[in-house]
Structure 1
Amino acid sequence: MSQQLPPSADWIGHPTVDAVFDVVRDTAAEVREALPERRAYVEGHNPSGEKVRAADEYADELFCERLLALDSVGSYASEERQSAREADDGGEYHLALDPLDGSSNLTSNNPMGTIVSVYDEPVPTGGDHLVAAAFVLYGPNTTMVVSDGDSVDEYLIEGAADEGDDGRKLLREDLTLPDDPTVYAFGGRRPDWTDGVTAAVEDLEADRLKLRYGGAFIADVMQVLTHGGVFAYPELTDSPEGKLRYCFECAPVGFVVEAAGGRASDGYGDLFGTDPDRLHARSPVYLGNEELVDRVEATLS
């Protein structure tokens, strides 16, 4: 017997932010359909020096065009752009997107996602200026996790909205991290980890946590939100800032994890105490059950 899903309501009950997430829902459905034909790399690199696929460019252009058309949006920034693009008529919110997180997984047909941050001032800025955040996961199903900072809800995205159907179903309301964590995921090559990071992982493995790492930030974090545990992309011996971008990845996903009852850290303190000095600034990040993140911090210090 199939599960009866509850009806959907507003995303977070804030009309102008809900309008942003409506656009994300509709656009994500189109991005998903377009992925099979846009697997190839294109010329050039993004501002972080990474190779770009046709799917990255397509998703970025589509989200940018549609989100900037909203009166409430003052600017749009993404991992694929050197600088933010400002709206003709400045709105009150400033968006920072990773349009296609984990696009390297396209060839191997593994999950990827879209990360959306809603700030109340232009980026770069600290995570304490986040108003809301969401991410879409293109897995066996397309799902969207949304948070206003107080709670987290997960939706099944069935397609773009049309008359009489808003294109989504509520899967989990007030999603919270399980009290009995079972998974961990640390990025980077083990030989490149610092001694502190290596010791932190050994401590986690002593608790028989299972490794779950698939190379897409959103997919790995969703494992932690579902099963409990900790995700990290830590500082490395040759890259003390780690890999993930603060405004586009670390801050918004940390915002979601903390609203789900977890904790977000840069390894030495509150992730939201960071004040990035450039749009594509990176930061180490540790997300998950509070007790586990606290243990990692204690080991690193």
Structure 2
Amino acid sequence: MERHITLGEFIVENQKDFPYAKGELSALLSSIRLAGKMVNQQINKAGLAEILGKAGKENIQGESQAKLDVMANDIFISSLRKRGEICGLASEELEDYLVFDDRIHKNAKYVVLIDPLDGSSNIDVGITVGTIFSIYRRITPEGSKVELKDYLQPGTKQVAAGYLIYGTSTILVYTTGNGVNGFTFDPGIGSFFLSHPSIKFPATGSTYSVNEGNYVHFPAGIKKYIKWVQELNEEENRPFTSRYTGSLVADFHRNMLLGGIYLYPQGTTAPKGKLRLLYECNPLAFLAEQAGGKASDGLKRIMELQPEELHERVPFICGNKEMVEKAEEFLTSCKS
């Protein structure tokens, strides 16, 4: 009989792959797993519980918060605070980072950065949404309060990252720098089971994900790249297929499994890009690279960028390595 491996079993069996193997990863992912189950439950009953729609306030980026944004944020903060593995947390939904400096947390080694509910504008129409998380080892000495510099670390310093996707099934995907694995939630049993071992981008892809409604605002290199992917070329399997949902996690997940590229460049309406370096781009870049893909701002490796503020935005191009490099070629040629 085929053995079905749970997320907990997998973590224990692969604990040595975590850079600081003392059980912290297991506990942290256990908290994220539990919070993910709770958010999934709220999403599934959102209409019945009347928690769809806007919350009536804005986050730090000036974007309207959905009720589930607020709820998901509270759930993850509560779940992670209850354990002693982190000394602080930063969320896309909060203006400033949180400090956990009580007796339980002050000697913790890690901080978490999180986008509690990516794609929440799609909640009201039932489109897939997700959670993105990133884990760093603190810079400040244990026993002291965490500081801003603990969060403003380049993506190369991540010790773990991943996402939960809430769709036709709920899947948790994560990496600790030793490949990418995905676990599907079985609601009947209440456990996540290994369903996508050793995920790799296919050698080639034929899907591009971009909000073409912003085409007029894109830089010249991106415009030329889009025209190129739309050209007829049977040898190169073009034109590519356009697939864009407005949920970053959903588009990234599909492209990683089936092959494709995601683009959210800078433009006149988003001079620095729209996506957040710390909460979205770095964790997905870590996953992409571990799956054989690539993530770039069009010129530089995403994970080598030095963050300057908590809610910094950057252009984001991510997917199959060859596809990303082709987009970079168009951007470089237009700058030369």
TM norm structure 2: 0.84
* Paired residues of 1:224 and 1:288 also in contact (CA < 8 A): yes
User: Which amino acid in 2 is paired with 1:293?
Assistant: V
Amino acid at match of 1:201: I
Partner SS for 1:286 = strand
Aligned to 2:246: 215
Are 2:175 and 1:158 aligned?
Answer: no
The 1-side partners of 2:316 and 2:204 are apart by: 21
Pick from 122, 125, 129: which aligns with 2:157? 129
1:171 aligns with 2:195: yes
Matching of residue 100 in structure 1 with residue 117 in structure 2:
yes
Q: How does 1:10-159 map to 2 (within 5 A)?
A: 10-11=10-11, 13=15, 14=18, 15-35=23-43, 36=46, 37=49, 38-88=51-101, 89-90=105-106, 91-121=108-138, 122-159=150-187
1:212 Cα deviation from its structure 2 partner:
0.9
Shift of 1:166: 6.9
Q: How many residues align?
A: 295
Kept in 1: contact 2:34–2:79 (CA 8 A): no
Mapped partners of 2:267, 2:239: distance in 1: 24
User: Could you report, residue by residue, the CA deviation over 1:189-224 in whole angstroms, capped at 9, with x for unpaired residues?
Assistant: 112212111111122223221111001000000111
Matched, 1:186 2:186: no
Bigger mean CA deviation after superposition, 94-103 or 40-49: 40-49
Please state how far the C-alpha of 1:125 moved relative to its aligned partner: 2.1
- 8 Å CA contact 2:276–2:311 kept in 1: the answer is yes
TM-score by length of 1: 0.93
Structure 2 Cα separation of the partners of residues 40 and 286 of structure 1: 30
Which protein has the larger Cα radius of gyration, Structure 1 or Structure 2? 2
Query: Given the alignment, which residue of 276, 279, 283 partners 2:307?
Result: 276
CA contact (8 A) 1:192 1:236 kept: yes
Report if aligned partners of 1:212, 1:223 keep a CA contact under 8 Å in 2. Answer: no
Give the 3-state SS of the residue equivalent to 1:203 in structure 2. Answer: helix
Secondary structure of 2:325's counterpart equals: helix
Percentage of identical aligned residues:
28
Distance between the aligned counterparts of 1:61 and 1:39, measured in 2?
16
List aligned pairs for 1:286-297, cutoff 5 A. Answer: 286-297=317-328
Deviating beyond 3 angstroms after TM superposition, the runs of 4 or more aligned structure 1 residues are 3-6
Instruction: Provide closer, same or farther for how the CA distance between residues 215 and 251 of structure 1 changes in structure 2, counting only shifts above 3 A.
Output: same
* Conserved 8 A contact 2:204-2:322: no
Does structure 2 retain, via aligned residues, the 8 Å contact 1:183–1:211? yes
The one-letter code matched in structure 2 to 1:46 is N
Q: Which runs of 5+ in 2 are unaligned?
A: 139-149, 232-237
Matches within 5 A, 1:235-254: 235-254=266-285
- Of the three residues 266, 287, 295, the one matched with 1:264 is 295
**Could you tell me how far 1:17 is from its partner in structure 2?**
1.4
Q: What code does the residue aligned with 2:278 have?
A: C
Structure 1: state its 5+ residue gaps: none
Q: For residues 148 and 60 of structure 1, do their structure 2 counterparts lie closer, same or farther at Cα, with a shift above 3 Å needed?
A: same
| CA RMSD, Structure 1 to Structure 2 (Å) | 1.8
Aligned-partner residue type, residue 284 of structure 1: P
For 1:52, give the aligned amino acid: Q
Residues 181 and 229 in structure 1, CA contact (< 8 A), matched pair in contact too: yes
* Distance (whole Å) between structure 1 residues aligned to residue 181 and residue 66 of structure 2: 30
Instruction: Map Cα deviations across residues 117-137 of structure 1 (whole Å, 9 max, x no partner).
Output: 001232122111111001000
